[in-house]
Amino acid sequence: MRTTLLVSVWLAVLAPLSSAERATQNAVLVLVDGLRWQEVFRGADRALIEHERGGVKDQAALLAEFWRDEADARRAALLPFLWSTIAKQGQLLGDRDAGSLADVANGLKFSYPGYSEMLVGFHDPRIDSNAKRPNPNVTVLEFLHGRPGFAGQVAAFGVWDVVPSIVNRERCGFYVNAGFEPVLVPPVSPQQSLLNRLKVELPKQWASMPPDAIAFHAMLEYLKAHAPRVLYFTLGETDEFAHAGRYDQYLEAACRTDAFLAELWNTLQTLPSHRGTTTMIVAADHGRGRGPDDWANHDKDTAGAEEIWIAVIGPDTPPLGARRDTARVVQAQIAATFAAALGEDWCAREPRAAPVIRELLR
Ligand SMILES: [Zn+2]
């Protein structure tokens, strides 16, 4: 009797809630390319607000915008939505100063392996370059698209033009838009039509992606028109400006990213199908070097580039804020956690997938 009781209590603790028991009916996964946990939790780095190593053009202006003496005020100045809303109503993992460790598991510490690890839940050694090769693995997005109630309810928007390969557009079956591609799914709003033009008519600062703002608003127009239950969205300017050694532009991009997250979250709350029933996970694909001499870089030889952060907000996430002294988590756990928010079991379908981060979900 006692054993039976213990076993049932144990099973109740371990068993994921089914979709009927969860408030979450929709889920959004946002990938912010190469934004360091250092800026997320400490705010702007004073050592990089200078010309030599940070490439900063106007130090006084950057200091006025993002420098504050206290770390709490500094990070809130850089990422106001993250710190006013997600840190109050959701959770943040990866503050290494507080003993919360989040890492990539792939060891390569660059984009395609990170994007793939986050979406499939494990590191596949065949994924070893950023080349546009179709992912041989099924992503959690493709899995969800095949589950009851999700057909035609999944969409992926990547600012980076490699995203169609990462989600395997040829095979996945759901709508994918990336890079400079126009959004042509009807109804195409006048705003979407203009964005389609701007994507190709603006000067190309980068060969592989338009500005984040263009991709963001294109995604938002689609969201308002189609309200998919599962949405994947990636941003890239933080990584591009860091590679260029421009700490000022990198901070500005991080701040814009935060504003996009706020607008996305607020837009979700205006949709009757999504209000109060959407879980949003935001994470980086990799970190960068820790110091003033290697902050711009990230690869397998860059110490610290495996360090990432994860933010979660939604009706099934206990509002524990910025976590302290948590068990180490890895990026690969995001896939199963994302599915679990919707009551779906990714690990049952993909035995190689890392387990759900339990404390992020009730
Ligand atoms: Zn990069």
DSSP string, 42-68: H-S-GGGSSHHHH--S-HHHHHHHH--
Q: Could you list the residue range(s) of the whole structural domain that residue 333 is in?
A: 20-360
User: Mean per-residue pLDDT for 197-202?
Assistant: 97
Give the closest residue to 136 by CA, choosing from 128, 145, 127, 144: 127
333-341 and 111-120 helices, crossing angle to 10°: 40
What spacing in Å lies between the alpha carbon of 123 and ligand 1's midpoint?
18
Rounded-to-integer distance, Cα 99 and Cα 101, Å:
6
Amino acid letter at 191?
Answer: Q
pLDDT at 17 exceeding the cut of 50 = yes
What spacing in Å lies between the alpha carbon of 244 and ligand 1's midpoint?
10
User: Mean per-residue pLDDT for 121-143?
Assistant: 98
pLDDT at 23 exceeding the cut of 70 = yes
Reported as type and span, the H/E element at residue 255 is: helix 247-268
User: Mean per-residue pLDDT for 90-100?
Assistant: 98
Go through 268-285 and write b for each residue having 16 or more CB atoms within 10 A of its CB, e for each that does not. beeeeebeebbbbbbbbb
Q: What is the per-residue pLDDT for 281? A: 99
What spacing in Å lies between the alpha carbon of 242 and ligand 1's midpoint?
8
In a domain, 310, yes or no: yes
In a domain, 11, yes or no: no
What spacing in Å lies between the alpha carbon of 362 and ligand 1's midpoint?
34
What spacing in Å lies between the alpha carbon of 176 and ligand 1's midpoint?
22
What spacing in Å lies between the alpha carbon of 56 and ligand 1's midpoint?
19
> What pLDDT, in 10s, does the model give residues 319-357?
999 999 999 999 999 999 999 999 999 999 999 999 999
pLDDT at 25 exceeding the cut of 70 = yes
pLDDT at 316 exceeding the cut of 80 = yes
In a domain, 8, yes or no: no
In sign, the C-alpha dihedral spanning 40, 42, 47, 50 is positive
Split into its structural domains, the chain has a count of 1
pLDDT at 13 exceeding the cut of 80 = no
User: Mean per-residue pLDDT for 132-156?
Assistant: 98
Amino acid letter at 60?
Answer: A
User: Mean per-residue pLDDT for 192-201?
Assistant: 98
In a domain, 15, yes or no: no
Q: Which residues surround ligand 1, an ion (CB under 5 A)?
A: 34, 239
Percent of the chain with pLDDT over 90: 94
Q: What is the per-residue pLDDT for 14? A: 47
Q: What is the per-residue pLDDT for 10? A: 45
In a domain, 324, yes or no: yes
> What pLDDT, in 10s, does the model give residues 261-294?
999 999 999 999 999 999 999 999 999 999 999 9
**Cα dist from 165 to 116, 217, 231, whole Å:** 10, 22, 17
Rounded-to-integer distance, Cα 86 and Cα 339, Å:
20
**The two structure tokens encoding residue 182:** 């126009």
What spacing in Å lies between the alpha carbon of 128 and ligand 1's midpoint?
14
Q: What is the per-residue pLDDT for 21? A: 78
Q: What is the per-residue pLDDT for 20? A: 60
For 136-201, strand residue ranges (E) read 154-158, 175-178
pLDDT at 4 exceeding the cut of 70 = no
In a domain, 112, yes or no: yes
Q: What is the per-residue pLDDT for 16? A: 53
What spacing in Å lies between the alpha carbon of 180 and ligand 1's midpoint?
19
Residue 164 · residue 145 · CB < 8 Å: no
pLDDT at 97 exceeding the cut of 90 = yes
In a domain, 243, yes or no: yes
What spacing in Å lies between the alpha carbon of 298 and ligand 1's midpoint?
6
Q: What is the per-residue pLDDT for 18? A: 64
In a domain, 83, yes or no: yes
What's the mean pLDDT when you consider all of the chain?
A: 95
* CATH, residue 247: 3.40.720.10
